């Protein structure tokens, strides 16, 4: 499989008067065409900042260094115009909160239709037909009637489905889903996960699925990347990482309650011997109790 996304020595720092926050530290990984990668880690470990960097969405005072190649094209340092072309047609993102991805003052239909008129150049009639089909594809009943409804007239789960429709409607080669089900209740979550998985299988798009839920990561990914405090501390095929985690941090996570760990919330504090003071390659660099940092 050919490489879709290739990230080398990527760091993201936020400068403030109180000092510099290193949100992402010198990470390296790649995503192949059609591959599904889970990015897991506790709250604050840098998952969202990393995702936004790939989209070219890190704003001041954030500072991105290193290299992000998407199909061989450098994303770091691109201006907004060039980035806009890559976003959507190349890389699309679903955000944690569906309200971030929707415009409250336009109907759902008009937002979906815009994908097909503005971005893909279809006529109005054809665009509307495609927008309705897309609504049906993500499981919105009575799509034709609901076409004219506004975001606030949909439930959280339905809004998230619409965001997924907006993202996959562009037929991206890479979909980044940043905790797309975290704000939803468990049954709605399961439906959305199934939807994303089937869309991915059908379209063959690559995916980075961000989650703090280990069970979700296991279900959805071919490969797992574990982040801790801005570092990638472990990476490997999903089954291998679950069966035999190599890094002490991941081992401690998995060993906590085999088969019972659903979320980072369930995990016991990391034993002291795994915790060191300074940052460093593959080293855990925080206080004694990781449980305190979990969301
Ligand atoms: N705009 C910002 N300014 C300063 N610090 C930020 C900003 N955005 C994120 N951070 C910091 O970057 C770190 C990683 O955050 P984030 O990527 O949101 O974590 P995650 O998504 O894994 O929960 C956190 O310490 C967070 O406080
Ligand atoms: Mg996040």
Q: Is the CB of 226 under 6 A from ligand 1?
A: no
- State which of 144, 169, 194 marks the end of a domain: 169
Q: What is the pLDDT of residue 283?
A: 32
Q: Does a structural domain hold residue 281?
A: no
> CA–CA separation, 72 vs 28, rounded Å?
15
Q: Is there a single domain that holds both residue 290 and residue 202?
A: yes
CA of 49 to the centre of ligand 1 (A): 6
* Nearest-atom index, ligand 1, CA of 45: 22
Total domains in the chain come to: 2
Q: Does a structural domain hold residue 280?
A: no
Q: Is the CB of 47 under 6 A from ligand 1?
A: yes
> CA–CA separation, 89 vs 218, rounded Å?
28
Q: Does a structural domain hold residue 178?
A: yes
For ligand 1, atom 10, which residue shows the shortest CA distance? Answer: 23
Residue-wise pLDDT tens for the chain (295 aa)? 799 999 999 999 999 889 999 999 999 999 999 999 999 988 899 999 999 999 999 988 999 999 999 999 999 999 989 888 887 669 999 988 766 778 999 999 999 999 899 888 999 999 999 999 999 988 899 999 999 999 999 998 899 899 999 988 888 999 999 998 877 888 888 888 888 998 898 899 999 999 988 888 988 999 999 999 999 999 999 999 988 888 887 877 676 544 555 555 555 444 444 444 333 333 332 333 333 333 3
Q: What is the pLDDT of residue 271?
A: 47
User: Are 221 and 238 spatial neighbours (Cβ–Cβ below 8 Å)?
Assistant: yes
Q: Is there a single domain that holds both residue 191 and residue 294?
A: yes
Q: Does a structural domain hold residue 277?
A: no
For ligand 1, atom 6, which residue shows the shortest CA distance? Answer: 14
Question: Ligand 1 pocket: which of 39, 49, 265 to mutate (most atoms <8 Å of CB)?
Answer: 49
Q: Does a structural domain hold residue 276?
A: no
Q: Is there a single domain that holds both residue 22 and residue 86?
A: yes
CA of 110 to the centre of ligand 1 (A): 33
Q: Is there a single domain that holds both residue 161 and residue 255?
A: no
Q: Is there a single domain that holds both residue 255 and residue 125?
A: no
- State which of 117, 144, 169 marks the end of a domain: 169
Q: Does a structural domain hold residue 188?
A: yes
> CA–CA separation, 36 vs 209, rounded Å?
7
Burial (CB < 10 A; 0-12, 13-18, 19+), residue 29, is middle
- State which of 142, 169, 196 marks the end of a domain: 169
Q: Pull the structure tokens for residue 5.
A: 């996304």
Q: Is there a single domain that holds both residue 177 and residue 266?
A: yes
Q: Is the CB of 75 under 6 A from ligand 1?
A: no
pLDDT digits (tens, 9 = 90+) for 225-276: 999 999 999 999 999 998 888 888 787 767 654 455 555 555 544 444 444 4
Can you give the CATH number for the domain in which 213 is found?
A: 3.40.50.300
Q: Is the CB of 55 under 6 A from ligand 1?
A: no
* Nearest-atom index, ligand 1, CA of 16: 4
Q: Is there a single domain that holds both residue 86 and residue 184?
A: yes
Burial (CB < 10 A; 0-12, 13-18, 19+), residue 94, is buried
Q: Is there a single domain that holds both residue 198 and residue 56?
A: yes
Q: Is there a single domain that holds both residue 165 and residue 223?
A: no
Q: Containing domain of residue 150, as a range?
A: 100-169
For ligand 1, atom 13, which residue shows the shortest CA distance? Answer: 23
For ligand 1, atom 20, which residue shows the shortest CA distance? Answer: 44
Q: Which stretch of DSSP H or E encloses residue 168?
A: helix 156-169
For ligand 1, atom 2, which residue shows the shortest CA distance? Answer: 14
Q: Does a structural domain hold residue 39?
A: yes
Q: Is there a single domain that holds both residue 43 and residue 78?
A: yes
Q: Does a structural domain hold residue 38?
A: yes
For ligand 1, atom 24, which residue shows the shortest CA distance? Answer: 44
Q: Is there a single domain that holds both residue 24 and residue 111?
A: no
Give CA separation, 101 vs 73, 104, 162, 180, in Å: 25, 10, 9, 11
Q: Is there a single domain that holds both residue 64 and residue 187?
A: yes
Q: What is the pLDDT of residue 24?
A: 98
Q: Pull the structure tokens for residue 278.
A: 């300074």
């Amino acid at each position: 499989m050919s490489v879709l996304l290739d990230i080398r020595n990527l760091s993201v720092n936020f400068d403030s008067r109180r000092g510099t926050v290193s949100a992402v530290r010198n990470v390296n990984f790649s995503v192949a065409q059609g591959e599904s990668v889970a990015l897991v880690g506790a709250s604050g470990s840098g998952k969202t900042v990393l995702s936004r960097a790939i989209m070219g969405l890190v704003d001041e005072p954030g500072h991105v260094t290193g290299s992000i190649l998407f199909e061989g094209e450098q994303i770091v340092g691109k201006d907004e115009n060039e980035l806009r072309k890559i976003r959507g047609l190349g890389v699309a993102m679903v955000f944690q909160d569906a309200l971030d991805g929707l415009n409250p003052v336009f109907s759902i239909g008009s937002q979906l239709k815009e994908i097909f008129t503005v971005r893909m150049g279809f006529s109005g009639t054809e665009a509307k037909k495609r927008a309705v089909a897309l609504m049906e594809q993500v499981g919105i009943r009575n799509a034709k009637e609901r076409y004219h409804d506004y975001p606030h007239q949909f439930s959280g789960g339905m809004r998230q489905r619409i965001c997924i429709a907006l993202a996959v409607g562009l037929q991206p080669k890479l979909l980044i889903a940043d905790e797309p089900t975290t704000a939803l209740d468990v049954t709605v979550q399961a439906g959305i996960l199934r939807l994303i998985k089937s869309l991915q299988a059908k379209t063959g798009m690559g995916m980075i699925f961000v989650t703090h839920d280990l069970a979700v990561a296991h279900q959805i990914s071919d490969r797992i990347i574990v982040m801790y405090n801005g570092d990638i501390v472990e990476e490997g095929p999903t089954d291998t990482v679950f069966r035999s985690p190599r890094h002490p941090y991941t081992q401690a996570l998995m060993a906590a309650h085999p088969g019972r760990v659903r979320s980072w919330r369930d995990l016991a504090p990391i034993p002291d011997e795994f915790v060191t003071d300074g940052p460093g390659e593959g080293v855990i660099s925080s206080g004694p109790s990781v449980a305190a940092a979990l969301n």
